[in-house]
Amino acid sequence: MNDLEYKKQILDPKSASFCGAKWYNATIWLGSGMTTSCHHPLPHKIDLEAIKTNPSAIHNTVQKKQERKQMQCGDRPKGCEYCWKIEDINRDNISDRVYKSKIFSNESLDEAHKADPNTDVNLKTLEIAFDRTCNFACTYCNPAFSSTWANNIKRQGPYTDMKTDGRNHFTHSHESAEPYKKDETNPYVEAFYKWWETDLHKSLDELRITGGEPMMSPNLWRLLDWIETQGDKMNPDMTLAINSNLGAKQSIIDRLKTKLKKFDKFELYTSCEATFGQAEYIRDGLVYGDWHSNFLHMMVDKVPRAIHNMCTINALCLESLPQLLEKMVWFKSASKVYGPEVNFTLNILRFPSFQSPLVLPDDLRNKFKGDLVKFLTSNSKWLEGMEINQTQRLIDYLDVVKTPHSGAAEQSKLQQDFKAFYSQYDKRSGKNFEKTFPIIGEWYRGI
C-alpha cells in the first residue's frame, strides 16, 4: 500500500488529524524533565507530582492526553503544525504523521483511536537523553545539549555581537537543562527506570539513547548492566540504538562493546560530516583519526548490527563533505567483509541559521554543489536509494533554496554573525578558520 493509500484507508477513517506518534512514540529529556511526541512539537514540562505515583507520566502528560482527544475527534493539536502546514499545501500531501503512524500495527492504531484519551499508554518507540554530559562542543550544538559547551560559556563568558536567531544558543550556559547536579537524585531518571522495569522493557520495539554523549553518563551503564543481566526478559525484537560521537577513551568504548556483544539488535548512530582538520574544527573535541579507527573497529568486532553516520550539513563541512562521503563508500565496501551494515544520512542544518550552508555566496554554493554532483555520478552504484535521494536533495537545496527557514534573517546579517561567531570561536579555542578552510576562508576574510 503506498503512502497516500495508507493515509486514506488507515488514518482518514479514524480522523482527519489522527497520528499514532501521539500515543506510542516519545522523545524525553530526563536531565531537564521535558517531553514531546515525535520531535516536531516543542517539548513541554513533565509534572513532577504526577511521576511520584505514575512513572509513565514522563510520557502520558496531561497535555498529550488532551492532544490525543483532539486527534480522536479530528481537531488539530497546535504543536503539530509541522504536519498541518504540509497537508495544507495540498489535501493529498503526505506529512510525517503518515510515516510516524505506519511503523505501528493497524491493531495498535485502532486501539489508540478507541481508547479513553485519559488512559496511560505504554510506548513502542522512545528516544531518551539522560543528561547533557558531553566531551565535545560542536559548533552547531549549544550548552543545552553539551556540558563542555556550558563550561566554555561559564569560563569564557557569552559570545557577543551576534544578532540573528542563533545568538541565544551561545549567550548563557542553559542551566535549566541540568536542574539536578551529579550527586543529586533526578526524579525523571528514577521514573524512567521504574517504568522500564515494570513495562517498557516489554513494550518497546525501539529504544534510542542520545545525549550529550551517552557513554559519559552513568545512567547508560546502569541500563546496560540491566540489559546484560536481565536482557532475556526484554521484548526479543527490541532494537537498542545509541548515538555516540565515538570520541570516548578506548577503555570506555571497549566497555560498551563488552556489554553489548551478545545483544544482536544494537545499532550505533554516530556523526561526522567533514574530514581531518576540518572535521575537528567543526566538532571541537573530535580527533578525526580516532573516530575513523573506532568506526572501523566497531565493524571488525561486529558489535553493532548497523552503523549509521548522521552528517549535519552546515556551511563549513561542504569543503570536505565529498571526501567524507567517499570514506563512507569505503566503509560500505568494508562492511561486505566485516558484516555490520553502514549508511549515512544528510541532515540539513536550519538552526542556528548563520551556520546554514545558505549563508555562503552563490559562487561557493555552486562550486560545492558541483563537487557533490561529481561524487554522486561516480558513486551512486554503491549507494542505497535513501542515500542517493538525500545527496540529490542537498544538491537541489544548494541550487534553489534561499533562506534556512521562514523568518530567518537576511543573508548579509547571517554572514555578519558567521564572522562574529567564528572569530570569537578561534580566539577561545586556539583554532584558525582561514588556515583550516582554504576555500571558504578566502571569502570569510573579506566579510
Query: Contact residues for ligand SF4 (CB under 6 A)?
Result: 19, 21-22, 37-38, 40-41, 80, 82-83, 95-97, 100
d(CA 420, CA 161): 7
Q: Shortest distance, CB of residue 408 to ligand SF4, whole angstroms?
A: 21
Q: Shortest distance, CB of residue 384 to ligand SF4, whole angstroms?
A: 24
Half-sphere exposure of 59 (CA within 13 A, CB side): 25
Q: Shortest distance, CB of residue 84 to ligand SF4, whole angstroms?
A: 8
Cβ-based nearer residue to ligand SF4, 83 or 409: 83
Residue nearest to ligand SF4 (CB): 80
Q: Is 383 helix (H, G, I), strand (E, B) or coil?
A: coil
Cβ-based nearer residue to ligand SF4, 11 or 303: 11
Helices (H), 348-384: 362-379
What's the grid cell of residue 55? 512513572
d(CA 318, CA 338): 30
d(CA 238, CA 221): 18
Cβ-based nearer residue to ligand SF4, 102 or 367: 102
d(CA 246, CA 269): 9
Cβ-based nearer residue to ligand SF4, 15 or 429: 15
Return the closest-CA partner of residue 428 out of 152, 160, 163, 174: 152
d(CA 368, CA 374): 10
> SS3 helix, strand, coil % of the chain, rounded to 5?
55, 10, 35
Q: Shortest distance, CB of residue 99 to ligand SF4, whole angstroms?
A: 7
d(CA 393, CA 103): 24
Residue 181's contacts (CB-CB under 8 Å, 6 or more residues apart) are none
Cα 200 → chain centroid: 22
Return the closest-CA partner of residue 122 out of 203, 235, 236, 39: 203
Q: Shortest distance, CB of residue 95 to ligand SF4, whole angstroms?
A: 6
Half-sphere exposure of 65 (CA within 13 A, CB side): 15
Cβ-based nearer residue to ligand SF4, 27 or 379: 27
What's the grid cell of residue 27? 522523545
Cβ-based nearer residue to ligand SF4, 39 or 308: 39
Q: Is 310 helix (H, G, I), strand (E, B) or coil?
A: strand
Cβ-based nearer residue to ligand SF4, 37 or 390: 37
Q: Shortest distance, CB of residue 117 to ligand SF4, whole angstroms?
A: 15
d(CA 34, CA 82): 19
Q: Shortest distance, CB of residue 308 to ligand SF4, whole angstroms?
A: 21
d(CA 223, CA 200): 12
Return the closest-CA partner of residue 349 out of 316, 322, 387, 383: 316
Q: Shortest distance, CB of residue 98 to ligand SF4, whole angstroms?
A: 8
Cβ-based nearer residue to ligand SF4, 99 or 330: 99
Q: Shortest distance, CB of residue 94 to ligand SF4, whole angstroms?
A: 11
Q: Shortest distance, CB of residue 358 to ligand SF4, whole angstroms?
A: 24
d(CA 148, CA 124): 32
Pairing of strands 206-210, 239-243: parallel
Cβ-based nearer residue to ligand SF4, 103 or 306: 103
Q: Shortest distance, CB of residue 4 to ligand SF4, whole angstroms?
A: 16
Cβ-based nearer residue to ligand SF4, 22 or 369: 22
Cβ-based nearer residue to ligand SF4, 70 or 275: 70
Cβ-based nearer residue to ligand SF4, 42 or 300: 42
Pairing of strands 137-138, 283-284: antiparallel
Element (H, E) at 38: none
Q: Is 130 helix (H, G, I), strand (E, B) or coil?
A: coil
Q: Shortest distance, CB of residue 187 to ligand SF4, whole angstroms?
A: 26
